[in-house]
Amino acid sequence: MIVGSPLQRGEREWIMSYRLLRAFLILLLCFGIFLSTRVTALAASADIQLSSSVGAPTSSIVVTGSNFQQGEKVIISFDALKAGSTTTDSTGAFKKDITVPANALPGNHSVDATGQTSGLSASATFLVRTNWPMSGYNQARTRYNHLENVINPTNASTLVVDWTAQTGDSIESSPAVARGLAYVGSQDGYLYAFNASNGTLAWRAFVGTAISSSPAVAGDVVYVGAGRAGAGNGRLYAFNASTGRLIWSSAAGIAILLSSPVVADGLVYINSLSNPPSTLYAFNAATGALVWTASEGEDTSPAIANGLLYINNSSSRTLDALNASTGALVWSSSIGDFTITSPAVANGIVYIGSDDQNLYAFNATTGTLIWSQPIGISVTSPAIANGIVYMGAANTNLSAFNAATGALVWSQPVGSGAVSSPAVANGVVYVCSFEHDLYALDATNGTQLAKLATGGIGIIHHSSPAVANGVVYIGSEDHNLYAFHLPGTTP
């Protein structure tokens, strides 16, 4: 029995209802906070890892995800553009291969993974780089950076000096660009590593004698040859590529002047002046232990493709092909005369210039002559890109030939002659002249796109251009390494 007036009974009932409603609302609010916290915690725990955080356009990377909802579809994007999709397993994990877009410019990019049911997402950063890790760009010495996507025939005319970095003497070494650094040797006896984006010195290592050889970067090691003619101090050096710490050095003949190292299958190869005239050395790349030697000609740079090592033998006036593992001679073909140029290999053909003023093309497997073409006096090595072989002559032009047939495609004057080996990237071919001007030409038709001055003071310019990450690097006899870029871009 309820005691009290009807008004009092109504007040009590209202108070009880209010308390129940308030308790319900408090419970609902707590549940909402819990649910929100739980979702936030789940979202924060979603994660992705990349198999590599640095690479070039078109490279393949594996994206591994965890803590997504089980059995849900996940969309993977590269800079907000879909790069792939997959479905998570029973633990909410996934693994998916994606390809870096060919048009991804050098710099940092975002890789994102988003669950289509849960809405969970995670991201990681990928750094795009288009390196030039050794003289000639690759083991085959094609001098063609097929990954470059910044400078092209439509904008090369606007190239300007981005920075210069000074060494203690002239630079005959050609630069290598990798790991965010530009490496180059100087006649002052130092190997230099400059920040590739601004030219500040990262480190330098002294070897005690002039460095004309061009460095080669493989993994976290940079290799370079050194030695002065007549001094009997030829050595191959291996340095930590990040710090410049000496890892090992090995004796290599009298002097290493023109030859630049190439690294393949755990071996590093270099040619050196010796007695007889030249010796080709193969060292263990990790330890510097000598593996084999072969008597060859002038100390020019070897090229490697499909297990064969190609080198000119100036003593016998031949191009020789050796087994890269053992040094055994596989074939030898006449090139008519002595030469200081190096071979280049592409699509089953090996190309080399000769002092008989011809460019030769041989079957890379058998040594059979395919064609030869007159080019004039050459002190440079060929470049090969997109079915065209480019060759400079010291007394005439830079010429382009059909790589399969030898037919002349175009020929263009570059000052009073080319004295550097050409470099090709993204439809542009670069070469340096006797006047120390760097020319940029349309690779298709030879049209001059730019003429860029360096500060050479002599008549010979051995350093050849390297093109990486939207920058053209070249050394000069005025002691400087030059970096040319497009205005408004940051390497």
pLDDT at 326 (0 to 100): 97
Q: Which two tokens stand for residue 165?
A: 């970095």
pLDDT exceeds 80 at position 24 = no
CA angle, 265 then 263 then 209, to 5°: 145
Query: Mean pLDDT, to the nearest integer, of 107-129?
Result: 96
pLDDT at 282 (0 to 100): 97
DSSP run (H or E) holding 370: strand 369-374
pLDDT band, residue 37 (cuts 50/70/90): very low
pLDDT at 316 (0 to 100): 82
Model confidence, pTM: 0.88
pLDDT band, residue 8 (cuts 50/70/90): low
For 45-128, CATH gives 2.60.40.1930
pLDDT at 340 (0 to 100): 79
Judged by average pLDDT, the poorest of 30-44, 116-130, 360-374, 433-447 is 30-44
Judged by average pLDDT, the poorest of 27-41, 290-304, 320-334 is 27-41
Give 45-92 pLDDT, tens digit per residue: 899 999 999 999 999 999 999 999 999 999 999 999 999 999 999 999
**Closest CA relative to residue 437, chosen from 423, 416, 410, 412:** 416
pLDDT exceeds 60 at position 411 = yes
Give 305-316 pLDDT, tens digit per residue: 999 999 988 778
pLDDT at 220 (0 to 100): 96
- Which residues in 14-43 are b (16+ Cβ under 10 Å) and which e? eeeeeeeeeeeeeeeeeeeeeeeeeeeebe
pLDDT at 275 (0 to 100): 64
pLDDT at 23 (0 to 100): 55
**Closest CA relative to residue 381, chosen from 260, 295, 243:** 260
Amino acid at 57: P
pLDDT at 2 (0 to 100): 43
pLDDT at 253 (0 to 100): 86
144-485: CATH class? mainly beta
- Domain regions of the chain by residue span: 45-128, 144-485
